[in-house]
Structure 1
């Protein structure tokens, strides 16, 4: 598959997720579509070739870090939901806007932490191969 086609597929998947999220709200299908779009982008930029060089230990560490990151994000979103609904008693557009902001705020620290962990693993691959 060409790099351009896989990049287009990734953007189409992200666009579909955005449109459906705005139109119908969150769906569990997004848990499947987001990794598919990520895989599509890694194919398009050629970094999928680096995955073949990963050891079993590195794969287990990445999966463990991903699991911990998802658990932390889920906990932060649940905490924000509790504060928004039970403590502040927000409703309407204010509630919706607060939930969107809370999700974005919960995702960025984990994105930075998990991204830096994966970056270190990839950098370790580059230093051991040269």
Structure 2
């Protein structure tokens, strides 16, 4: 497949998930579709080729990466619970404002993964590239 086709597939999946989430609500199928879109974008920009470096990782690097992932997921889960508490119990939002607030909170809650997990993975990959 060409890179342009993979990019179009990724965007169509993202738009389809976003539209159906707004119209139908959340479904666990979205996790699969988002993963497929991510893989499509990764193949498009050459990120899949970097997966070959996993074989070169040492045990402490694997443990550090897994620990960073667990911490990132815990932070996001805590932030989502905090946002849920604020939206429902403190602010008592309803209707469209609540929906918009939930969407914004979900998006903002994902940024800690970008910073914590992303920086650890970048550091590990740069160490692998430097030792090579």
* TM-score calculated relative to the size of structure 1: 0.83
Matching residue of 1:18? 18
The equivalent position to 1:67 in structure 2, one of 65, 70, 76, is 70
Aligned partners of 2:3 and 2:44 also within 8 Å:
yes
Matching residue of 1:98? 101
Matching residue of 1:38? 38
The farther-off stretch of 61-70 and 6-15 is 61-70
Q: Secondary structure at the match of 1:52?
A: helix
The farther-off stretch of 58-67 and 79-88 is 58-67
When residues 51 and 9 of structure 1 are mapped into structure 2, their CA distance, relative to the original with a 3 A threshold, is: same
* TM-score calculated relative to the size of structure 2: 0.82
Aligned partners of 2:11 and 2:37 also within 8 Å:
yes
Q: After superposition, what is the alpha-carbon deviation per residue over 1:86-124, rounded to whole angstroms, capped at 9, x for unaligned? A: 122111122112212221221223322222222212222
Over aligned residues, Cα RMSD in angstroms? 2.0
2:49 is equivalent to residue 49 of structure 1:
yes
Give the drift of 1:128: 2.0
Matching residue of 2:83? 80
Matching residue of 1:128? 131
Matching residue of 1:5? 5
Give the drift of 1:7: 2.2
Q: How many residues align?
A: 129
Q: Secondary structure at the match of 2:110?
A: helix
Aligned partners of 2:75 and 2:112 also within 8 Å:
no
Give the drift of 1:4: 2.7
